Amino acid sequence: MLFQADLSGACADKQWTSHPEYQDISELTFESGVMKFHVKAQTSDEWAYVYLDPVKYSWNNFSWQTKFRRLTNFQEYAFNFRYVDFDNRYRYRFEDDLLFFDSKIRGKWKAHARMPFPMALTAWYDLRIDAKKDRYRCYVNGMLMMENRNAAIQRGSISIILWEIDQKTDAIAEVGPSVVRRLQ
């Protein structure tokens, strides 16, 4: 086991780092390993942004498993992996009833693939992201949804980002608990 969410809640907020520029810590709570986001729609650029410190957690071949649900129809729900920093990461992103695979390398975004993925509001989804060498797989509810390849980032951590720009939709969501295991 490379990482397991603190289910007691006593240290969960110390495992995940909140990005100080984008995450208002008052809009995030932890309960039994589940992160509860409640981001108020106050501006046209609202974020939730948490990550595991890539200095402490830096993996190459791993499987990240978690549960997630959307409680409002906010714009973007992104699960970043091989996360090095804001400008270097891969992600599987849920937006507009689509699932995307994107990369951000040296600050430049590239959308590699997308497919239909309608999400039901309030439904829980089981997510598993496997990163092995240059191959990435995204599973939802045990079904392989997407497989992608890219060799630009060899190792890193994980992060979760929610984003909304309409100034009226609160980004309310829950994620967790998360477990990261080594892949052989």
Query: What is the DSSP-derived secondary structure letter of residue 2?
Result: -
Q: What is the pLDDT of residue 10?
A: 58
What's the domain range around 37? 3-182
User: In degrees, to the nearest 5, what angle opens at C-alpha 12 toward C-alphas 11 and 17?
Assistant: 110
- The CATH number for 18's domain is 2.60.120.560
- Which residues face 152 on adjacent strands? none
* Token pair 């829980």 in the structure block, residue: 124
Positive or negative: CA dihedral 50, 56, 60, 65: negative
**C-alpha–C-alpha distance, residues 22 and 160, integer Å:** 12
Contact (Cβ atoms closer than 8 angstroms) between residue 41 and residue 166: yes
The dihedrals phi and psi of 39, each to the nearest 5 degrees, come to -95, 120
Amino acid at 163: W
Nearest one of 17, 33, 45 to 171, comparing CA atoms: 45
Q: What is the pLDDT of residue 43?
A: 94
Low-confidence ranges of the chain (pLDDT < 70): 8-13
Query: What is the DSSP-derived secondary structure letter of residue 19?
Result: P
**Over the stretch 102-133, which tens digit does the pLDDT of each residue have?**
999 999 999 999 999 999 999 999 999 999 99
User: For the chain, how many structural domains are there in total?
Assistant: 1
* Token pair 């309030």 in the structure block, residue: 122
**C-alpha–C-alpha distance, residues 108 and 122, integer Å:** 33
Nearest one of 111, 6, 126, 136 to 59, comparing CA atoms: 136
pTM comes to: 0.96
